[in-house]
Amino acid sequence: MKKSVKGIIGLSALLLALGGGAAALLLTEPKDGGESSSSSQSEVEKQVKILIYDDKVKGTDPETGADLKGVIKSVKVKNSTDEFYVVQNGVTENGSGIIYTFDGYQEVNMNNALIGTLANNANGLTSEDVVEENCTDLAKFGLENPEITVDIEYETGTKCRMFIGNDAPVGDAKYVMIDGVDTVFTVRISALANYSKTLDDFVETTMLKSPDVYPKVEKLTVSRKGEDDLILEYDKSSDDEANRGGTSSTHIMTSPTFAYLTVERATDIITGMFGLSADSIYAVQCTESDIAEAGLKEPFCSVTMECDDGNDYKLLLSEYFDDSEGKSCYAMFEGGNVIYVLDAEKAKWVTVQPIDVASRMFVASYVWNITDLSVKSGDVSYEFDITQTKEPGEDEKLTADNFSVTLNGEDFDAERYRKFYSFLIKANGESFALGEDVPSGEPMAVLEYTDSYMNKTMKFEFYEKSALQALVVADGESKFNISKSYVETLIENAENLKSDTEFKTTWK
């Protein structure tokens, strides 16, 4: 659905005369008049004319050598659906061109490059050919009551009015007249196409531009009616390359539960607002009524992105609805003045769930950040203490040689401890078990360790859930469902710690 143009300045009802500084028509010189072939002769006979230029401006461009055509101050376009008043709105960064926008829409994120074509395409517009001079039957060209009228005013005050009629039957062109000249011309359609567009076509569909350098997203919050907030936060430990917490993502989930993130799934959720492009426009300079009708006064979903450059963005999203393209939703930035339509694939925040972005790895600390670790099963306990005994050399990484390890108070091979830990971090939850009751019985096993870098102790209890599944309870709350055979392999590997038996690294 699209809204009609509001508040555009109306066109003058007076016809603009061409005399006294009006835009002129120039006949170009034919090429190689002596050509004898029929195809060449046809090209020679075409009367190509410059239809619009400022006859008060004289001279040539020193860089190109082309005749100066003047600078357009404003353009008024009236077509079958809308009226536009194009005005200057500054100059380009390098100062070589004029930026144009619609009067009354300076505060709307418009496609100024596309708007600029309404002025730039008119300036120096040339005909493809002369169709009929001294024309008295304008109806056959669609020029008796033309669908499109274009008024041009130059900075010098020179004015011109152009009428655009029907498509010509051949030549990919349209019929055109200049007010005050009773000659019908053809002009290539590509130069005239944008005068037929609606207001919505000129609204910038990129909702938030992609920056050259992305700011750091400190926090992203997805809020939906009736659900706990999904909160993804920047993990400050990611600033230290040596202490990335065992995960490649620079962010972690802090709500509705703590979880590490899978970078390929989480990145688009975290930074997806940048470069987000709408499929269409619902309302421009939207009113409170428009916002309510789109379901954004009390939005189903809101996404808040807090960046380290001091900019925060809040995207409001409606529930999905079915349209001709599939599922879509309405979207706008809080405090904005344009309501967009996004297809469901782009509006992924409406349905994203924690399991969609979370890594199912729950043991993810860097091995040499751990100061103590224990595995308990029944009455048996295996307790490690890990101490760094020497600093690595310059450009060296920490290895087992830098640590001493004890198991239940006795010296233990640091490299064998590392291999045991490498088995632990292969654990992956099969699904979330958030909100499930914690069983009252004894767990199959308990894993607990302290991460010195995070200054945090983590405890995981594994409960039998079925013949094939176990429940992982993290710090007293149900967290994941996991393969029961992993827990059985964990217990078996712990029993083999003091032997020379190779640790199992796979399970069913």
- State the pLDDT at residue 360: 82
Q: How many structural domains comprise the chain?
A: 3
Assign 312 a pLDDT band (cuts: 50, 70, 90). very high
219-230, pLDDT tens digit by residue? Answer: 999 999 999 999
Is the domain of 254 the same as that of 334? yes
- State the pLDDT at residue 240: 64
What whole-number distance in Å separates Cα of residue 69 and Cα of residue 160?
13
Region 5-25 average pLDDT: 35
78-121, pLDDT tens digit by residue? Answer: 999 999 999 999 988 777 789 999 999 999 999 999 999 999 99
Is the domain of 398 the same as that of 289? no
Q: Is the dihedral of CA 276, 277, 279, 285 positive or negative?
A: positive
Assign 23 a pLDDT band (cuts: 50, 70, 90). very low
Is the domain of 302 the same as that of 384? no
Region 292-304 average pLDDT: 97
In a domain, residue 500? The reply is no
Assign 10 a pLDDT band (cuts: 50, 70, 90). very low
In a domain, residue 257? The reply is yes
In a domain, residue 382? The reply is yes
Name every residue whose Cβ is closer than 8 Å to that of residue 362 and which is 6 or more positions away in sequence: 259, 260, 427, 429, 460, 472, 474, 479, 480
| pLDDT above 50 for 1 | no
Alpha helices in 312-427 (DSSP H): 354-357, 414-424
Name every residue whose Cβ is closer than 8 Å to that of residue 319 and which is 6 or more positions away in sequence: 295, 300, 301, 329, 350
In a domain, residue 362? The reply is no
End of a domain among 175, 202, 229?
Answer: 202
Which of 330, 271, 321 lies closest to 298, judged by CA?
330
| pLDDT above 50 for 58 | yes
Q: What percentage of the chain carries pLDDT values higher than 70? A: 89
Pair of tokens at residue 108: 């709307």
Paired with 340 in beta bridges are 281, 331
Is the domain of 322 the same as that of 430? no
Is the domain of 349 the same as that of 381? no
Ranges assigned E (strand) in 135-246: 148-154, 159-167, 173-178, 184-188, 217-224, 230-234
pTM for the whole structure: 0.75
- State the pLDDT at residue 239: 72
Is the domain of 372 the same as that of 350? no
| pLDDT above 90 for 362 | no
Residue 46, burial from CB neighbour count under 10 angstroms (0-12, 13-18, 19+): middle
In a domain, residue 183? The reply is yes
- State the pLDDT at residue 94: 79
* 415 vs 435, more confident: 415
474-508, pLDDT tens digit by residue? Answer: 999 999 999 999 999 999 999 999 999 999 999 87
Residue 45, burial from CB neighbour count under 10 angstroms (0-12, 13-18, 19+): exposed
End of a domain among 202, 230, 254?
Answer: 202
| pLDDT above 80 for 386 | yes
| pLDDT above 50 for 41 | no
| pLDDT above 70 for 182 | yes
Helices and strands, counts by H and E, the chain: 8, 29
Q: Which of 49-63, 152-166, 376-390 has the lowest mean pLDDT?
A: 49-63
Pair of tokens at residue 254: 């802090």
Measure Cα distances from 16 to 11, 19, 51, 149 in Å. 12, 9, 15, 12
Pair of tokens at residue 423: 């088995």
Assign 38 a pLDDT band (cuts: 50, 70, 90). very low
What whole-number distance in Å separates Cα of residue 270 and Cα of residue 445?
36
Strands across the sheet containing 83-91: 98-102, 83-91, 72-78, 148-154, 159-167, 173-178, 184-188, 129-132
Q: Which of 93-97, 119-123, 368-372, 413-417 has the lowest mean pLDDT?
A: 93-97
Is the domain of 32 the same as that of 130? yes
CB pairs under 8 A, 24+ apart, for 503-508? 503/419, 503/420, 503/423, 504/423, 505/422, 505/423, 505/426, 507/483, 508/483
Is the domain of 284 the same as that of 340? yes
Is the domain of 109 the same as that of 161? yes
Which of 74, 82, 67, 76 lies closest to 98, judged by CA?
74
End of a domain among 333, 357, 381?
Answer: 357
| pLDDT above 90 for 170 | no
CA 432 from chain centre, in angstroms, equals 29
Measure Cα distances from 422 to 176, 359, 363, 412, 501 in Å. 76, 17, 10, 16, 15
Is the domain of 486 the same as that of 428? yes
Q: Does the N-terminal peptide bond of residue 439 adopt cis geometry, omega within 30 degrees of 0?
A: no
- Tell the residue number behind the tokens 């033309």, with chain if given: 146
Instruction: Look over the chain and give the mean of its residue pLDDT values, rounded to a whole number.
Output: 88
- State the pLDDT at residue 24: 43
Is the domain of 376 the same as that of 459? yes
- State the pLDDT at residue 400: 94
Name every residue whose Cβ is closer than 8 Å to that of residue 59 and which is 6 or more positions away in sequence: 67, 68
* 323 vs 173, more confident: 173
The angle at the Cα of 298, spanning 296 to 300, to the nearest 5 degrees, equals 75
In a domain, residue 17? The reply is no
In a domain, residue 207? The reply is no
| pLDDT above 70 for 14 | no
**Please, are residues 178 and 18 in contact by the beta-carbon 8 Å criterion?**
yes
Pair of tokens at residue 369: 């950040």
Q: Are strands 173-178 and 98-102 parallel, antiparallel or unpaired?
A: unpaired
Is the domain of 121 the same as that of 238? no
258-297, pLDDT tens digit by residue? Answer: 888 988 889 999 999 999 999 999 999 999 999 999 999 9
Secondary structure of residue 293 in the 3-state scheme? helix
In a domain, residue 396? The reply is yes
| pLDDT above 60 for 42 | no
Region 370-388 average pLDDT: 96
The residue segments making up the domain with residue 241 are 217-357
